[in-house]
Amino acid sequence: MRNGLPAETWKVIPLDPQPVTLVSSPDPAGVFHANPSLLALSSGRLLATLHLHGPGVTKLPGIKGHHYPFNHLLLGKIVSSNDKGATWQARADFPFAFARLFRDGESIYALGHKGNLQLIKSQDGGNTWSKPEALTPEDDAGGLFTQGPGNVLAHQGFLYAAFMKTRPTPFKGWPGSILVPVVMRAKAGTNLMTPKSWTFSTPEKTFSEWFTPEAYPGFGIPFFSSPSIDKPDPIGGGRFTNRPGWDDAHVLPLPAPPHQWHDPSSLLLVCRTGVHRSNLAAILKIRLTPDAAPCLEPLVAPSGVPMSLIPWPGGNQKFDACFDETSGLYWSVGNRMTDTMSLPARLPAKWWGLPCEEACGLQLHFSKNLVDWSFAGLIEQPASSVHFRAAPALAIKGQDLHLVARAGDDQCKKFPATNLVISYRIPDFRSLAY
């Protein structure tokens, strides 16, 4: 707060103004880094995953996979740090994309996809990894999974993970308009490497099939006109919009009593939104039964009105979130939005997408109820809007909050073709709560 000293001593100060470069592209014009994942082990080791894509991947060594049905190459990487993220070492390659790390007992897993879901396992702290096992077939029934890394939630003896799944319908533009969320579940302690261990939620519906425009009257959603069903619509300045959609789903526990949503037989599905507006997330309830697959259903307000959206800082871009039992708070890291009301034709040439799709500074927030959020701090503010920061992933170890994110420096010609993955450490992060 103000203390009579220069502003630099009391204004918002970045939580980690000097992040570490975890990995950089060997060819910024042809090899790009995609969204990372992060896991903290009890030993203190940090594990991170990422994958490489782009035309230059063909020239790189390492095991590669082909994405169904597009057939482009994917090269996954696993790296580790034994010094709280100060330095990182390569551990393994894998032939699929968007792997998320999680633990079950002493075993560590990386769950991702190359269209169909893939899983690898380590039993030595991430030093060596098994060969990939396919959890779904490589066809239109099981090969259309997508989205970047999310979380895997351990809850009441089961493991839950959410993916988005596209449809085989030809579509031009942002695929979030036709994505359907799918929650998968397996019993903890079982053989997770076999498809028989996993069940998948029902029903499978797009955002527009769950929520019609009448679900949010008076909020200007969608903000831009998007009359076309199967293609983007121009809005000026060489920019286009799509019908409302969602992506990047997370499974979170519901708040404890006396919260109005508390329900021991349910979890919450929270998704990044594409409704042309900032700081909103889409939600569904995950109804749980012991002997049946999870069931998705709307979350209903006390008035009886279905709820489609809730406030979420940076919820219109890929964010990460978790519940911290020690503090009893939810923590979320996402992009800072500074000017979402600019005319599309006036945006800088390197700006990605719509005015609300800002991919620059990252910020940390906390909440006790998943609706009311408090600002914890600015993680890092890049020098300019061309220095991108996006798709953060978080992990808690002791008193520290660790983050990884993909980034673009001066060699990044245009987002989302980022050329770096960077890591942050926020010591004693719980002291940021107030």
Cα distance between residue 336 and residue 85, in whole Å = 23
Cα distance between residue 50 and residue 91, in whole Å = 12
Identify the band that residue 382 occupies on the pLDDT scale cut at 50, 70 and 90. Answer: low
Structure tokens at 186: 């397996």
Cα distance between residue 90 and residue 148, in whole Å = 21
343-348-351 Cα angle (round to 5): 95
Section 165-191 average pLDDT? 92
User: Strands 239-241, 233-236: parallel, antiparallel or unpaired by DSSP?
Assistant: antiparallel
Cα distance between residue 266 and residue 288, in whole Å = 5
What pLDDT does residue 279 have? 96
User: Mind listing the pLDDT tens digit for each residue in 261-311?
Assistant: 999 999 999 999 999 999 999 999 999 998 899 999 999 988 888 899 999
User: Mind listing the pLDDT tens digit for each residue in 74-104?
Assistant: 999 999 999 999 999 999 999 999 999 999 9
Could you give the percent of the chain with pLDDT greater than 70? 98
Beta strands in 115-238 (DSSP E): 116-122, 133-134, 145-146, 152-155, 158-165, 180-187, 198-200, 233-236
Whether pLDDT at 386 is above 70 = no
Average pLDDT, the chain: 93
What is this structure's pTM? Answer: 0.95
Q: Which of 172-176, 257-261, 281-285, 313-317 has the lowest mean pLDDT?
A: 172-176
Residue in the structure block whose two tokens are 């039964």:
289
